[in-house]
Chains A and B, each alone.
Chain A
């Protein structure tokens, strides 16, 4: 067996790949579900916190800033491991899937709060004054005047950060979730051949290259020209 044949037999073994494709496909579905749940929960919580922060209650804002700092400073894998192995000691048991979901949602919430907040503070003060002059109260100004502009301003950093954090779903393999990487690793162990890992890498590329493309599309169509 020549070098190239050996490489193909090792990493692109069609027989092994065909055998384990269904398992990887199941992992793919699990990864997509986990990522979607993280994006929804993380962005919603992040936006909610940014709105609360805009109300300007000092003690509450300290709490929000501390929350953001905490989840920006801790490595996601540390949070996942802590929730997964730690909570059972308190009688709360989270599966690996939900421990990963909760951890990464909190991390995304922290990063997105900071990004939404940057957008809110970057919206010119005159927009608030104009809203008040029209007789609008705080919440209508925030939701109908400031946020539409703020959100569109911060779409590029927001999509980048969201994509980066959803790639963390691979960390779920560490706490026994059979998402793409977890499924590929157990398939590799059973078959004694790393081709399932190649399949897993292809699955991630299939998943994230379109996401990166979609991110660029959103940036082009949502951002305000000239800002």
Chain B
């Protein structure tokens, strides 16, 4: 029983042979994260700023826009962009489809978090910055946004953790990231050890983030109690 387990999940010989392509996959995963996190933040900041507009002609379409992308499972959106759009003659390719899907999906979540952050900054901060002679855009950038980000930092980190984990769905559209390479190795060797190795890699990279989050969240609970 134990030998079966080691043989099918922790087969070091197979892991050693799969190591080069797993390593390449890991680098692609990191690259993917480095692309989609800033894209999502950019979209999210745009949503957060627009949602402060006073006109309902801005706010209502914006709510529909974000609710749509929050209601759709990310994989559905990705398949739609990857497999559906080519029928219209628009072929984004795997990377393009992944980038656009993450821009739309994760942007909606970042938007919600950042909006809560902006709401948490007292209006007096903006007024004071303006009184000091800063132009609106500069006051926003130098005074309001830094405070907003700090106030919702745990949520931003938590969201970013989810985004990095979510990059694994890019394997479904054949982006050669970590999970894709692990599945390739698994299908060649008929052994799950490469997938265990990939899981271990995710865990090693993301565990510190989970620990950090746990501490940030506990601190939030403690300060809320006063």
Residues of A within 8 A of B (CB): 6-7, 10-11, 69-70, 72-79, 81-82, 85-86, 89-91, 114, 118, 121-122, 124, 164, 167-171, 173-174, 180-181, 185, 188, 193-194, 197-198, 200-201, 204-205, 208-209, 212
Contact = CB atoms under 8 A, between A and B. Distances in A.
Contacts of B151: none
7 contacts: A10-B88, A81-B195, A118-B217, A180-B76, A193-B87, A198-B84, A204-B73
Contacts of B84: 11, 188, 194, 197-198
Contact of A89 (B8, B171, B209, B221): B8
Given A73-B210, A86-B9, A122 B224 contact: yes
B179 A78 contact: yes
B221 A72 contact: no
Contacts of B161: 72
Interface string B171-203: 110000001001100100001100110110011
Contacts of B183: 81, 85
Contact of A90 (B8, B182, B199, B206): B8
B127 to A, nearest CB: 29
A212 B67 CA distance: 9
A113 to B, nearest CB: 12
Interface residue SS majority, chain A? helix
Contacts of A85: 183, 186, 192, 195
Contacts of B162: 164
Given A73-B202, A78-B168, A118-B221, A86 B76 contact: no
Interface of B: 4-5, 7-9, 67-68, 70-76, 79-80, 83-84, 87-88, 161-162, 165-169, 171-172, 179, 182-183, 186, 191-192, 195-196, 198-199, 202-203, 206-207, 209-211, 213-214, 217-218, 221, 224-225
Contacts of B166: 75
B73 A74 contact: no
Given A7-B88, A114-B217, 4 more contacts: A122-B221, A170-B74, A197-B83, A212-B71
Nearest to B71: A208
A181 B73 contact: yes
Contacts, number: 136
Given A74-B199, A75-B179, A81-B183, A197 B165 contact: no
Contacts of B8: 86, 89-90
Contacts of A124: 225
A141 B198 CA distance: 44
B88 A173 contact: no
Contact of B172 (A11, A174, A201): A174
Contact of B75 (A70, A170, A208, A209): A170
A10 B179 contact: no
Contacts of A212: 67, 70-71
Given A122-B225, A204-B71, A205-B72, A77 B179 contact: yes
Nearest to B68: A205
B192 A74 contact: no
B79 A181 contact: yes
Contacts of A169: 73
Contacts of B73: 167-170, 181, 204
Contacts of A171: 75, 169
Contacts of B167: 75
A201 to B, nearest CB: 6
Contacts of B199: 74, 78-79, 82
A181 B75 contact: yes
Given A74-B165, A168-B73, A204-B72, A90 B5 contact: yes
A91 B192 CA distance: 13
A10 B86 CA distance: 10
A212 B203 CA distance: 31
